Chains A and B, each alone.
Chain A
Amino acid sequence: MLFIKMKKTKTNRIKKALSGAHAAAEAMRQINPDVVAVYPITPQTPIAMKFSEFVNDGLVNTEMIRVESEHSAMSACIGSAASGARTMTATSANGLALMTEIVYIASSLRLPIVMNLVNRALSGPINIHGDHSDAMLVRDSGWIMLASVNAQDVYENTIMAVRISEHKDIMLPVMVLQDGFITSHSVETLFTLDDKSVKNFVGEYKPKHNLLNTENPITIGPLDLFDYYFEHKRQQAEAMEKSKYIIKKIFNEFSKLSGRKYDYFEGYKTNDADFIILTMNSSVGTAMEVADSFREKGFKTGVLSVRVFRPFMNEEVVKKLRNAKVVAVLDRAIAYGSHGGVLFNDVRSAFYEQQKKPKILNYIYGLGGRELSVDMVLKVFEDMIKLSKGKEIKQIQYLGVRD
């Protein structure tokens, strides 16, 4: 409940107890997409299973394609979205890796597909639990990526993702991230909107071009060589750039229904904080608890949560962190051979031109579902405090791993 602050709105909000996976499925039920093509994989499966119940019990008008692999799931999504149907899917880890070829094609074809990604460690060794290695695999794929602290975020991000992806100036697919098991399988209290409000918010999908328009035949996915490919990729990058401003507008519009505030980076007691942990997905909750315990001891501690991971908003992260003395970035994936994790590199790079900047530390944590304990986060804040007092602290460290 930590992050569920709501203002009063005219909308009916319904209190429910749902897991993150079922929160995604519930959002999908209310969105009522035309087509869902999905293949089971742990820990995404409860989304596919719950939504299949909705389909087979006639609670949605969706046609489901029970494909034979994730590769075919994304391939079918492309066929469907290109035909003008509102299209959704979900996956995890190895499933995402298998479909990665097509994940790139989806964004290059500018198709507004929404996919729930239940984050799980990539093999090998094989592991079914949560980390962010799968999300990092596709961070450069041209998808907008929204992270979720809890089931409430999963539910709301999924609904907002539809509007973001289908916006005429964006037309990019969107991924909604949630931590495998920790979020996907834990039942939490959340507040949903009534069906009608969601239906009105997402509206009807009316694409400009449509493969099924046989009177005006179009060719989708032609061979694109050195004479045009580059321009098309640049257009894709510019759409991502434009999305930065449109995402915020859609956030604000949705706020009016939900009574919650959404931002690229959401601060918890960061306004006056000297020591800030920046992290993504479920670890935000743990970090907030520990930040509070340091506040009680008189330290100005806070947590900055990433909601919009891609596009990464440099100026926004700078705005939120520039007054801190030390920032610790928590990465739940190793970027092998890089100087620290992906988020660490993003944040550090954002500060390069800044005169006033905090010291930035990086912690790799939680791989393969390893718990991020309160003690580990305590150590992170202690390190930050020590560093501010002139003590030397190693810039990049692992949390909770045996030597």
Chain B
Amino acid sequence: MVDLKSFGNKEMKLAPGHRLCPGCAAPIISKLVLLAASDYDVVVGTATGCLEVSTTIYPYTAWKVPWIHNAFENVAATISGVETAYRVLKKKGKINKNIKFIAIGGDGGTYDIGLQSLSGALERGHNFLYICYDNEGYMNTGIQRSSATPIGASTTTDPAGTVRPGKLEFRKDLTAIVAAHHIPYVAQASIHNLNDFLTKVKIAIETEGPSFINVLSPCVLGWGYDSSQTIELAKLAVETCFWPLYEVKNDNWILNYDPGDKKKPVIEFMKSQKRFKHLFKPENEWVLKRAQEEVDKRWEWLKRMCEK
């Protein structure tokens, strides 16, 4: 575990004044990642998305570290190029310091349109950390459905209607897909557990080869809740086992939090969010039931994966 106090006097590498929404988890995640990596020189790549458009509106930038944005679906390929250039230039003696590379993408740029680019970069074994801030939809373009959107959620491309109550498919399990690449380090984390998250970033950044951390990123606008509740919702997602905390270290699956008998029903996570509001009508009860069944099924699967 990291010593949280040791971060107290570190400079924040993401400056205030960016234009992300109040209560948005993306800048919290970014700041924490940069904080946990603050012992190193880092270069950050960001996929097109909320974080990118809100932190770098020309001629301003909120980034106090070297930063590159290329397009939506290619941050992993872009950072591959940066990391490879670094290796060559270092070998040639043109650079003599150690630099760490971090790619950040939302769920749209990671689960969906950027999945191929990510998979390619993982397979090639570049030395980088990929952070996915998963807000469960295309929030930057106005809350459209992604493959990370959970069952029952109303989005602008799959809204709660009279014959179809929003998304009816279960979300993609990207963390497990990434783990299937057998890279050295994969984890799921949450912003309510600072120690767990910062420790994971520190492990990942110090890992040789590719590493990946998936972080749930509550979205005030897309999920529909009071901006004071961001951390609370992140916590509920973990306590309901909707977003379990675990890591896969060299193919060893380790559960970081098991609520045991205190596992809360998933509606505890869902009920305060406007995107699920329609599910609490009697005719849509079956969706809530299916959501709970899937959370239970995946939780049991994860526990089996983590059994020694």
Q: A34-B88, A63-B88, A75-B74 are in contact. Are A82 and B64 (CB under 8 A)?
A: no
Chain A CB within 8 A of B172 CB: no
A101 proximity list for chain B (CB < 8 A): 71
Chain B CB within 8 A of A228 CB: yes
Chain A CB within 8 A of B225 CB: no
Rounded to whole angstroms, the CA-CA distance of A213 and B68 in the bound complex is 13
Residue of B nearest to A224 (CB): B58
Interface size for A (C-beta < 8 A) is 43
A219 proximity list for chain B (CB < 8 A): 56, 61, 63, 66-68
B65 proximity list for chain A (CB < 8 A): 214, 217
> Contact between B84 and A80 (Cβ–Cβ < 8 Å)?
yes
Q: Which residues of B (31-70) have their CB < 8 Å from a CB of A?
A: 41-43, 45, 52-53, 56-61, 63-70
B71 proximity list for chain A (CB < 8 A): 75, 101-102, 105
> Contact between B88 and A61 (Cβ–Cβ < 8 Å)?
yes
Rounded to whole angstroms, the CA-CA distance of A223 and B59 in the bound complex is 9
> Contact between B86 and A212 (Cβ–Cβ < 8 Å)?
yes
Chain B CB within 8 A of A126 CB: no
CB distance from B217 to the nearest CB of A (A): 20
B117 proximity list for chain A (CB < 8 A): 68-69, 71-72, 75
> Contact between B99 and A79 (Cβ–Cβ < 8 Å)?
no
Q: A66-B124, A212-B66 are in contact. Are A71 and B84 (CB under 8 A)?
A: no
Q: A71-B73, A79-B77 are in contact. Are A65 and B57 (CB under 8 A)?
A: no
Chain B 80-91, CB-CB to A under 8 Å as 1, else 0, gives 111111111101
B147 proximity list for chain A (CB < 8 A): none
CB distance from A84 to the nearest CB of B (A): 7
Rounded to whole angstroms, the CA-CA distance of A135 and B131 in the bound complex is 37
Rounded to whole angstroms, the CA-CA distance of A65 and B77 in the bound complex is 10
Residue of A nearest to B61 (CB): A219
Q: Which residues of A (89-114) have their CB < 8 Å from a CB of B?
A: 101-102, 105
Q: Name the contact of B85 in the complex, choosing from A79, A102, A213, A225 (C-beta under 8 A).
A: A79
A68 proximity list for chain B (CB < 8 A): 116-117, 119-120, 123
Chain B CB within 8 A of A41 CB: no
B43 proximity list for chain A (CB < 8 A): 83, 211-212, 214
> Contact between A78 and B63 (Cβ–Cβ < 8 Å)?
no
> Contact between A87 and B74 (Cβ–Cβ < 8 Å)?
no
Rounded to whole angstroms, the CA-CA distance of A84 and B84 in the bound complex is 11
Chain B 151-189, CB-CB to A under 8 Å as 1, else 0, gives 000000000000000000000000000000000000000
Residue of A nearest to B41 (CB): A214
> Contact between B84 and A76 (Cβ–Cβ < 8 Å)?
yes
> Contact between B120 and A222 (Cβ–Cβ < 8 Å)?
no
> Contact between B85 and A72 (Cβ–Cβ < 8 Å)?
no
> Contact between A61 and B82 (Cβ–Cβ < 8 Å)?
no
Q: Which residues of B (8-51) have their CB < 8 Å from a CB of A?
A: 41-43, 45
> Contact between B89 and A223 (Cβ–Cβ < 8 Å)?
no
Q: A102-B71, A212-B85, A217-B65 are in contact. Are A79 and B45 (CB under 8 A)?
A: yes
Rounded to whole angstroms, the CA-CA distance of A68 and B115 in the bound complex is 11
A69 proximity list for chain B (CB < 8 A): 116-117, 120
> Contact between B61 and A71 (Cβ–Cβ < 8 Å)?
no
Residue of B nearest to A33 (CB): B88
Chain A CB within 8 A of B95 CB: yes
CB distance from A271 to the nearest CB of B (A): 47
> Contact between A211 and B68 (Cβ–Cβ < 8 Å)?
yes
Chain A CB within 8 A of B79 CB: yes
A222 proximity list for chain B (CB < 8 A): 56-58, 60-61, 69
> Contact between B84 and A63 (Cβ–Cβ < 8 Å)?
yes
Q: Name the contact of B70 in the complex, choosing from A35, A37, A78 (C-beta under 8 A).
A: A78
Chain B CB within 8 A of A17 CB: no
> Contact between A225 and B57 (Cβ–Cβ < 8 Å)?
yes
> Contact between A76 and B63 (Cβ–Cβ < 8 Å)?
no
CB distance from B83 to the nearest CB of A (A): 8
Rounded to whole angstroms, the CA-CA distance of A222 and B68 in the bound complex is 8
A105 proximity list for chain B (CB < 8 A): 70-71
Residue of B nearest to A78 (CB): B70
> Contact between A35 and B88 (Cβ–Cβ < 8 Å)?
yes
Q: Which residues of A (174-219) have their CB < 8 Å from a CB of B?
A: 211-214, 217-219
Rounded to whole angstroms, the CA-CA distance of A217 and B83 in the bound complex is 16
Q: Name the contact of A79 in the complex, choosing from B73, B78, B123 (C-beta under 8 A).
A: B78
> Contact between B68 and A102 (Cβ–Cβ < 8 Å)?
no
Chain A CB within 8 A of B97 CB: yes
Chain B CB within 8 A of A67 CB: yes
> Contact between B69 and A220 (Cβ–Cβ < 8 Å)?
yes
A337 proximity list for chain B (CB < 8 A): none
> Contact between B85 and A35 (Cβ–Cβ < 8 Å)?
yes
CB distance from A270 to the nearest CB of B (A): 43
Residue of B nearest to A220 (CB): B68
> Contact between B57 and A102 (Cβ–Cβ < 8 Å)?
no
Rounded to whole angstroms, the CA-CA distance of A82 and B45 in the bound complex is 12
B92 proximity list for chain A (CB < 8 A): 34, 61
A71-B117, A79-B70, A79-B81 given; name 8 further pairs at CB < 8 Å: A67-B120, A72-B121, A76-B81, A82-B81, A102-B70, A214-B97, A223-B56, A225-B57
A–B complex contacts, Cβ < 8 Å, 21 sampled? A63-B88, A66-B124, A67-B77, A68-B117, A71-B77, A75-B80, A78-B68, A78-B78, A78-B81, A79-B70, A79-B78, A81-B81, A82-B68, A82-B81, A82-B82, A83-B81, A102-B71, A105-B70, A212-B85, A217-B65, A228-B59
- Measuring CB to CB, which residues of chain A are less than 8 angstroms from any residue of chain B? 34-35, 37, 61-63, 65-69, 71-73, 75-85, 87, 101-102, 105, 211-214, 217-225, 228
8 smallest CB-CB distances across A and B, nearest first, come from A79-B81, A68-B120, A76-B81, A222-B56, A83-B85, A85-B85, A72-B77, A75-B77
